[in-house]
């Protein structure tokens, strides 16, 4: 059981792109993507807070973004119903994929970034072939009854969380769709590193840990306030702590096993919803989005500095 | 000479040339003239040498000329994002100067600028809006002024216009004719007086003037009103000298120079393009200066000895100058403020009564803001304290939660006693008042109950307050109960009495209501007990219905209310309960439900995930909704022509005789009981063709081919048959076909039998035929005729299905109709393809039939795999080996032509098949003799296979 070290604020970045809709790490956690309500995506260095690049081309708020496995491409989802595949270095959109009938809420790459998976307000999950120039989705999954809030994938499964209270996992290997009904609208879904469990942030202010194998509810984490916000949750790199934002400017970190609150981070004194967060893929580092700012929290500032 | 005085000159006159003098210098040529700025730099260059002040010579002062801005950014000094470029960035100082293209300076905007300023600025004089009609040689408004109108008005003018003002009018309320005239004279007079005395006219003067002037209106048209006249505003000239009032001494300026005359206005009026056409020729003023006669010592002194008279003040006609009665009234009216009219009712205005203000009233300026920290008035403090006393006592609205308050009000008892009944009004047995009174009683006994639930000895203050409340409440309740006492017994059945006419009935109805029965049978029972025996059965039934209806309609109001309203307290209590529930809601169990269903990942998805397709890709896809092409393109229509799936009619049209052959094949099979064996043998046979057969081998042209080639070169006139065969009414052909099919059936049977015997796949040519018949055979119309001509290659096989024996010439012609590339390809195919065994009599097998021979198990289509799976699961006995492919074929057969537009998988499948068929054919060439007919067939087939190949290529290229 790893011991818990308190998180401290390392950097605060004012993104200057309207409200930040989502923050995401790239594959190795060296860079940060922020999706703004000003239709732009910005690439940051989280340590220095340096703006590296701005990607503009969406026609509406950007809701989600993900970097490819080699960090040379970005895929982004927007409420303009399109997904854009960006070249990181040139900042130009390589491909614009349009098939969703509603705004796209979430997007992710598969392991080798050959397939992009998106979920939208049209209740559809779409798989896009990135390798070829095909402009229509490879596959569309329309099983969900409500807006798709998160899509995840691992080596052989695609997970889609929906506001209809279900987590659907599409097993490619088995050719099987498993629908786990939680009953509460799920606003966000995260996966443990061992791919055994899912962390589902629910609308009823509870973060639930689901077992992938059996579909059982392993534990619940409470204390934060979700209200009507799209609150994201996450699991830290050590698979021992669960983190979730809250509507009153707080962030809660729970112990995965004990389900007790380990730390209550006050991101800001004057409110604001901490709706988006990202966990560093390797280190004990967290990224939060509140209003127009990004906050980088880390446990070991000294080490960081040494590394730099 | 005199006239020259009035001429004006512009510019400085040149020195007059001496007559003898020869100009020393040559005048400068235009090309040599150089415009220089104040610094002596050249201002303009030629268009090719840099244009306006740009270029190499005199830009930013450096020899390099313009250097681009360079971007610098370091860690310490971050580059600031460049602000938007402004035109000023590209301007010189002189451009911004007074005479530059963008002069700088603070000034009013054009729309607000004064006229005179604008004039100065723009160099033009704008129309004077308030100008009196000019007195020039041309009467009326100056022409130029009328022609050139300002583009936009000033703000004030716009406002005025929006209020109904028109240019040329004055401002103010509308006047009658008389008033207008009065005003006019008044104005002229005022003007005059002002000019001469520089002071306001005296009141009495005005008065009598008005009296004098106003007499000439005879018509009393009070209704018609006019806009007031406009008049030049009076400008007061400040006094700058120490002379007496309005004294202007002798003009010190030289007589001839007019420019320096005293008044500034005159200067401007000297010459005005937009003013009068001619400079004012000063009319000879008929003025009499001073007074004609002196004042005697005994005479009364004149009012003003300095008055200057002019002729307007003298009468030239004899008129009755007596003021009329009306005039007096008008004069009186002059005292009334403008915009008001005199009250003629004669009612004396009421005397305003003094308001007695409160003694401690202190007027306050509400605009003056008070400091938050200013000490409050003592009384206010006292009042505030009194108001908030209950808060101190802990009885504030927010100090207690609803439960506590409910307890305080005695409602807690209810929720405690009857927790099941959430709505206290639901028990209709008790009357409302009873319950209220009971609560009222509890008020008196109520006290402060602390959170712990104990009744504590209250603090004196709290006691006071609560007691007061309780007592007052009790008093009110008592009163209320007294007042409603009489009503109380009525309340429950106070409802409408629908059957008052029949008393007995009414009574029965009331009883019925009391019984409050729901079940119909019970009601009949109940009523039958009540109803008199005399009533007939029908009457009884009617009464029952009436009662039920009446009960529904005339429900007592209270009852209605009971249902609809709930006391607020109880609602709050409910809420609290629910809130309470919500907190321990954590116990609310989330029951996870897991459902599993089949889901077919697309093959590409699997490929990308590096996962083998589940079940070898043989899963059933639930729906092919995505197959519909998401994007529309004209090329789709061009490529797929008419034979898309969507264009096919429902199978009801399929003629019966075509379906027969389908059923036929199993029948003639000699050993129908052992299909596996048969199939096995087939497969073994089908493997036979050597794999090398896929090689393309060139065979020299046959006689027929040559003939065909010849026919290509024939003139069009000879190709009439061709066109006929293409565009002729398809009905005939179909009929023919039918006949032919009927004829062919026999041979076909034979054929199938033969094939069965030989171990060849059974032919079901019918499928192709059926498909062909289902096609839209009508000739293309309109633009489609043109559109579909190039792919006309599609049509011949359509119109002439494989089983049909078409005349050779026709066929030839058809071939000749094709495009050149197509022909070439066909030749090749012809060369490669071959005729089936000569001993096989009858139509050539369609290509689809021959694909079967593709043996590679990997190449089985999804359908085949599916079939395989089915078979595997269905009958374990059968060996799941090669024979399956046969079934695939038959199944394929039915679909084959129908889904030419099907998924890429199936099409790719088909290529393989066609390839294999080709291979087979070429293999056969070597050993088989060629017959004309069979050649024709093979040609067609090759065409077809070519087509499919083509298509599949296209599809592949798409990916």
Give pLDDT tens digits for B91-117: 777 777 777 777 777 766 666 665 555
Contacts of A99 in chain B (CB under 8 A): 630
User: Across the interface, do A215 and B619 touch by the CB < 8 Å criterion?
Assistant: no
Nearest to B615 among A127, A175, A184 (CB): A175
User: Across the interface, do A222 and B586 touch by the CB < 8 Å criterion?
Assistant: yes
User: Across the interface, do A182 and B590 touch by the CB < 8 Å criterion?
Assistant: yes
Cα–Cα distance, B798 to B98 (Å, whole number): 87
Nearest to B605 among A172, A174, A220 (CB): A172
Cα–Cα distance, A117 to A170 (Å, whole number): 12
Of A214-218, B19-23, B748-752, B813-817, which range is least confident?
A: B813-817
pLDDT recorded at residue B857: 45
Query: Please, which residues bridge with residue B455 across strands?
Result: B449
Mean pLDDT of chain B, nearest integer: 59
Of B96-110, B224-238, B737-751, which range is least confident?
A: B737-751
- With b for 16 or more beta-carbon neighbours within 10 A and e for fewer, the B679-711 pattern comes to bbebbeebeebeeebeeeeebeeeebbeebeeb
Over residues B622-626, mean pLDDT: 51
Of B37-41, B239-243, B521-525, which range is least confident?
A: B37-41
**A8-307: which CATH topology?**
Methylamine Dehydrogenase; Chain H (2.130.10)
Cα–Cα distance, B512 to B523 (Å, whole number): 8
Secondary element (H or E) of residue B153: none
Cα–Cα distance, A76 to A57 (Å, whole number): 10
User: Across the interface, do B598 and A175 touch by the CB < 8 Å criterion?
Assistant: yes
Cα–Cα distance, B692 to B97 (Å, whole number): 92
- Stated length of chain A: 308
Cα–Cα distance, B333 to B173 (Å, whole number): 15
Pair A66, A75: CB distance under 8 Å: yes
pLDDT higher than threshold 50 for residue B787: yes
- What is the ipTM, given to two decimal places? 0.89
pLDDT recorded at residue B135: 54
- The structural domains of chain A, with segments of one domain joined by +, span 8-307
Cα–Cα distance, A174 to A9 (Å, whole number): 44
User: Across the interface, do B590 and A222 touch by the CB < 8 Å criterion?
Assistant: no
pLDDT recorded at residue B145: 65
Q: Please provide the DSSP assignment of B304-371 as one string.
A: -TT--EEGGGS--S----PPPHHHHHHHHHTTSPTT-----S-PPPPPPPPPPPPTT-----TTSPPP
Pair B852, B688: CB distance under 8 Å: no
Pair B570, A148: CB distance under 8 Å: no
Of A83-97, A149-163, B478-492, B711-725, which range is least confident?
A: B478-492
Per DSSP, the three-state class of B893 is helix
Q: Supply the pTM of this predicted model.
A: 0.36
Task: Determine the distance in angstroms separating the CA of B599 from the nearest CA of chain A, rounded to an integer.
Answer: 5
Q: How far is CA B910 from CA A184, A198, B684, B803, B936, in A?
A: 49, 45, 21, 21, 22
Over residues B931-944, mean pLDDT: 48
Percent of chain B at pLDDT exceeding 70: 26
User: Across the interface, do B605 and A127 touch by the CB < 8 Å criterion?
Assistant: yes
Nearest to B609 among A131, A156, A184 (CB): A156
User: Across the interface, do A115 and B608 touch by the CB < 8 Å criterion?
Assistant: yes
- Stated length of chain B: 959
Give pLDDT tens digits for A25-61: 999 889 999 999 999 999 999 888 899 999 999 999 9
Give pLDDT tens digits for B631-643: 555 555 554 444 4
Between A97 and B386, the more confident residue is A97
Q: What are phi and psi of B178, to 5 degrees?
A: -65, -50
| Most confident by average pLDDT, B53-57, B371-375, B472-476, B540-544 | B540-544
Between A65 and B120, the more confident residue is A65
Any B CB within 8 A of A177 CB: yes
Helices (H), A164-296: none
The separation between the first and the last C-alpha atoms of chain A, rounded to the nearest angstrom, is 28
Pair B619, B598: CB distance under 8 Å: yes
3-state SS, B223-250, equals CCEECCECCCCCCCCCCCCCCCCCCCCC
Give the closest residue to B462 by CA, choosing from B470, B474, B454, B472. B470
Helices (H), B759-819: 765-774, 782-787, 795-799, 808-816
User: Across the interface, do A178 and B626 touch by the CB < 8 Å criterion?
Assistant: no
How would you class B891 by CB atoms within 10 Å of its CB: exposed for 0-12, middle for 13-18, buried for 19 or more?
middle
pLDDT higher than threshold 50 for residue B551: yes
Cα–Cα distance, B331 to B659 (Å, whole number): 117
Q: Please provide the DSSP assignment of B633-684 as one string.
A: -HHHHHHHTT-SGGGPPPGGGS-HHHHHHHHTTTTT-S-TT-HHHHHHHHHH
How would you class A75 by CB atoms within 10 Å of its CB: exposed for 0-12, middle for 13-18, buried for 19 or more?
buried
Per DSSP, the three-state class of A97 is strand
Torsion of CA B662, B663, B667, B669, to 10 degrees: 30
Over residues A262-272, mean pLDDT: 85
Cα–Cα distance, B76 to A274 (Å, whole number): 32
Over its C-alpha atoms, chain B yields an Rg (Å, rounded) of 58
- How many separate helices (H) and strands (E) can be counted in chain A? 1, 28
- The structural domains of chain B, with segments of one domain joined by +, span 91-171, 173-229+284-293+302-337, 378-490, 598-628, 642-958
Cα–Cα distance, B423 to B563 (Å, whole number): 10
pLDDT higher than threshold 90 for residue B266: no
pLDDT higher than threshold 80 for residue B163: yes
Contacts of residue B61, Cβ cutoff 8 Å, sequence gap at least 6: none
Per DSSP, the three-state class of A22 is strand
Task: Determine the distance in angstroms separating the CA of A15 from the nearest CA of chain B, rounded to an integer.
Answer: 15
Give the closest residue to A158 by CA, choosing from B6, B601, B554, B728. B601
Pair A187, A203: CB distance under 8 Å: yes
Pair B836, B853: CB distance under 8 Å: no
Task: Determine the distance in angstroms separating the CA of A155 from the nearest CA of chain B, rounded to an integer.
Answer: 7
Any B CB within 8 A of A138 CB: yes
Cα–Cα distance, B207 to B190 (Å, whole number): 12
Percent of chain B at pLDDT exceeding 90: 0
Task: Determine the distance in angstroms separating the CA of A65 from the nearest CA of chain B, rounded to an integer.
Answer: 21
Query: Please, which residues bridge with residue B225 across strands?
Result: B176
């Amino acid at each position: 059981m790893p011991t818990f070290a308190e998180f401290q604020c390392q950097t605060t970045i004012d993104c200057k792109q309207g409200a930040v809709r989502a923050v995401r790490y790239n594959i190795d956690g060296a860079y940060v993507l922020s999706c703004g309500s000003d239709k732009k995506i910005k690439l940051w260095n989280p340590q220095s807070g340096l703006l590296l690049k701005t990607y503009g081309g969406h026609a509406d708020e950007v809701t989600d973004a993900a970097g490819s496995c080699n960090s040379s491409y970005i895929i982004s989802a927007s409420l303009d119903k399109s997904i854009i595949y960006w070249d990181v270095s040139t900042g130009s959109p390589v491909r614009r994929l349009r098939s969703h009938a509603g705004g796209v809420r979430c997007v992710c790459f598969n392991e080798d970034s050959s397939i992009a998976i998106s979920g939208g307000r049209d209740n559809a999950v779409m798989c896009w072939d990135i390798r070829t120039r095909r402009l229509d989705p490879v596959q569309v999954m329309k099983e969900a009854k409500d807006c798709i809030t998160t899509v995840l994938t691992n080596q052989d499964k695609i997970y889609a969380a929906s506001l209809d209270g279900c987590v659907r996992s599409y097993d490619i290997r088995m050719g099987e769709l498993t629908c786990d009904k939680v009953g509460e609208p799920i606003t966000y879904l995260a996966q443990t590193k061992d791919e055994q469990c899912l962390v589902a942030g629910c609308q009823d202010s509870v973060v639930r840990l689901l077992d992938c194998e059996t579909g059982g509810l392993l534990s619940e984490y409470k204390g934060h306030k979700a209200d009507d916000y799209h609150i994201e949750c996450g699991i830290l790199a050590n698979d021992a702590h669960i983190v979730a934002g809250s509507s009153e400017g707080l962030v809660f970190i729970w112990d995965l096993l004990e389900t007790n609150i380990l730390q209550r981070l006050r991101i800001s004194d004057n409110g604001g919803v901490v709706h988006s967060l990202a966990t560093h893929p390797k280190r004990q580092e967290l990224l939060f989005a509140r209003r127009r700012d990004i906050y980088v929290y880390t446990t070991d500032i000294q080490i960081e500095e040494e590394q730099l | 000479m005199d006239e020259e005085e009035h001429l004006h000159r512009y510019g400085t006159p040149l020195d007059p040339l001496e007559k003898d003098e020869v100009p020393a210098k040559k005048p400068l040529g235009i090309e040599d003239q150089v415009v220089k700025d104040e610094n002596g730099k050249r201002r303009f260059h030629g268009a090719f040498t840099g244009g306006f002040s740009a270029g190499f010579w005199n830009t930013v002062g450096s020899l390099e000329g313009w250097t681009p801005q360079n971007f610098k950014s370091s860690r310490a000094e971050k580059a600031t994002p460049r602000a938007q470029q402004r035109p000023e960035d590209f301007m010189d100082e002189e451009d911004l100067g007074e005479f530059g293209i963008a002069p700088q300076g603070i000034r009013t905007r054009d729309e607000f600028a004064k006229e005179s300023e604008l004039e100065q600025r723009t160099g033009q004089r704008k129309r004077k809006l308030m100008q009196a009609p000019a007195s020039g040689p041309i009467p009326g408004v100056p022409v130029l002024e009328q022609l050139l109108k300002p583009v936009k008005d000033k703000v004030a003018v716009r406002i005025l216009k929006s209020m109904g003002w028109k240019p040329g009018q004055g401002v103010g309320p509308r006047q009658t004719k008389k008033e207008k005239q009065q005003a006019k004279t008044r104005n002229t007079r005022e003007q005059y007086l002002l000019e001469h005395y520089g002071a306001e006219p005296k009141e009495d003067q005005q008065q009598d003037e008005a009296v004098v002037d106003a007499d000439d209106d005879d018509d009393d048209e009070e209704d018609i009103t006019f806009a007031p006249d406009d008049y030049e505003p009076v400008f007061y000239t400040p006094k700058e000298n120490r002379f007496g009032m309005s004294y202007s001494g002798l003009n010190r300026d030289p007589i001839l120079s007019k420019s320096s005359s005293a008044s500034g206005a005159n200067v401007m009026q000297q010459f005005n393009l937009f003013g009068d056409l001619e400079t004012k020729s000063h009319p000879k003023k008929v003025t009499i200066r001073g007074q004609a006669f002196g004042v005697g010592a005994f005479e009364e002194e004149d009012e003003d000895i300095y008055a200057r008279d002019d002729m307007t003040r003298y009468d030239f006609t004899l008129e009755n100058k007596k003021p009329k009665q009306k005039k007096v009234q008008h004069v009186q009216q002059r005292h009334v403020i403008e915009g008001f009219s005199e009250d003629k009712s004669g009612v004396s205005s009421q005397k305003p009564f003094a308001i007695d203000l409160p003694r401690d009233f202190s007027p306050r300026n509400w605009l003056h803001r008070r400091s938050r920290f200013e000490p409050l008035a003592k009384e206010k403090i006292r009042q505030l304290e009194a108001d908030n006393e209950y808060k101190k006592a802990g009885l504030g609205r927010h100090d207690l939660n609803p439960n506590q308050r409910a307890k305080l009000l005695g409602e807690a008892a209810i929720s405690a006693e009857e927790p099941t009944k959430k709505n206290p009004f639901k028990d209709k047995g008790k009357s409302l008042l009873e319950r209220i009174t009971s609560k009222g009683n509890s008020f008196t006994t109520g006290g402060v109950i602390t959170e712990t639930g104990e009744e504590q000895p209250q603090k004196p203050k709290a006691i006071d307050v609560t007691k007061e409340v309780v007592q007052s409440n009790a008093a009110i309740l008592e009163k209320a109960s007294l007042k409603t006492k009489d009503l109380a017994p009525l309340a429950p059945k106070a409802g409408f009495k629908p059957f008052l006419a029949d008393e007995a009935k009414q009574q029965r109805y009331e009883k019925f209501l009391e019984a409050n029965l729901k079940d119909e049978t019970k009601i009949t029972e109940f009523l039958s007990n009540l109803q008199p025996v005399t009533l007939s059965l029908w009457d009884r039934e009617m009464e029952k219905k009436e009662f039920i209806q009446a009960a529904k309609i005339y429900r007592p109001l209270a009852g209605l209310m009971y249902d609809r309203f709930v006391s607020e307290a109880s609602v709050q209590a409910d809420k609290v309960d629910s809130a309470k529930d919500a907190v321990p809601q954590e116990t609310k169990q989330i029951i996870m439900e897991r459902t599993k269903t089949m889901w077919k990942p697309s093959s590409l998805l699997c490929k990308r995930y590096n996962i083998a397709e589940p079940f070898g890709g043989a899963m059933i896809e639930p729906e092919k909704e995505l197959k519909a092409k998401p994007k529309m393109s004209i090329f789709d229509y061009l490529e797929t022509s008419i034979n898309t799936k969507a264009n096919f009619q429902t199978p009801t049209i399929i003629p019966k005789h075509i379906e027969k052959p389908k059923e036929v094949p199993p029948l003639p099979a000699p050993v129908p009981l052992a299909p596996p064996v048969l199939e096995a043998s087939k497969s073994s046979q089908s493997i036979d063709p050597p794999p090398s057969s896929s090689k393309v081998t060139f065979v020299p042209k046959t006689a027929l081919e040559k003939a065909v080639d010849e026919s290509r070169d024939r003139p069009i006139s000879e190709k009439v048959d061709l066109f006929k065969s293409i565009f002729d009414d398809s009905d005939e052909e179909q009929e023919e076909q039918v006949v032919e099919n009927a004829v062919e059936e026999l041979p076909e049977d034979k054929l199938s039998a033969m094939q069965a015997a030989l171990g060849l796949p059974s032919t079901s040519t019918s499928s192709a035929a059926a498909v062909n018949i289902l096609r839209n055979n009508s000739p293309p119309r309109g633009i489609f005729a043109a559109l579909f001509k190039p792919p006309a290659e599609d049509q011949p096989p359509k119109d002439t299905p494989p089983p049909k024996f078409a005349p050779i010439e026709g066929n030839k012609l058809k071939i000749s109709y094709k495009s050149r590339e197509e022909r070439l390809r066909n030749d090749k195919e012809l060369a490669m393809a071959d005729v089936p065994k000569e001993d096989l009599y009858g139509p050539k097998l369609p290509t689809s039939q021959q694909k079967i021979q593709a043996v590679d198990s990997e190449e089985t289509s999804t359908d085949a795999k599916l079939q395989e799976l089915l078979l595997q699961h269905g009958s374990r006995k059968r060996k799941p080996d090669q024979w399956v492919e046969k079934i695939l074929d038959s199944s394929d057969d039915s679909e084959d032509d129908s889904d030419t537009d099907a998924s890429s998988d199936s099409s790719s499948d088909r290529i393989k098949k066609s390839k294999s068929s080709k291979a087979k054919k070429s293999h056969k060439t070597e050993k088989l003799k060629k017959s004309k007919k069979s050649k024709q067939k093979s040609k067609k087939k090759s065409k077809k296979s070519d087509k499919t190949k083509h298509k599949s290529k296209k599809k592949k290229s798409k990916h």
